[in-house]
Structure 1
């Protein structure tokens, strides 16, 4: 697969990932953290705000393609 096409597909996947993850994380927060203390909100949003990076790293590694020798 050409590098330009791989990067285009990867960019679209990352945008879709971020949007879907934001909706999912906020839906979970609204459903579970309604009466939680402030520190639970801080902990949840800190962790969930960093968690999306893991699947994004996989997509970025795929976009880079195989290592050149």
Structure 2
């Protein structure tokens, strides 16, 4: 059980680092020079990462079946 938490933590940190890099790349390359566009983009991007993170946390907390 402890190893699941360590693996999950490493995967979660890697996911977050890659996701942040992708968001910054998209913002710099494709967003217009508008504060409103930045506000909307970062609000949406700030919520989207929660969904894969929830799956990782659920996996970390689940008990493996013992036969």
With the shorter chain as reference, the TM-score category is 0.7 to 0.9
Match of 1:16 in 2: 14
Name the counterpart of 2:29. 31
Post-superposition shift, 1:42? 0.2
Structure-2 residue corresponding to 1:41: 38
Q: TM-score, normalised by structure 1?
A: 0.85
Q: How many residues align?
A: 64
TM-score by length of 2: 0.88
Once the two structures are TM-superposed, the CA of residue 65 in structure 1 deviates from its matched residue by 1.2
The aligned counterpart of 2:47 is 50
Take 1:25 and 1:41, find their aligned partners in 2: how far apart are those partners?
11
Residues 8-55 of structure 1, C-alpha deviations (whole Å, 9 max, x = no match) = 10000010011000000110111111x332111100001101111110
| Residue segments in structure 1 that go unaligned for 5+ positions in a row | none
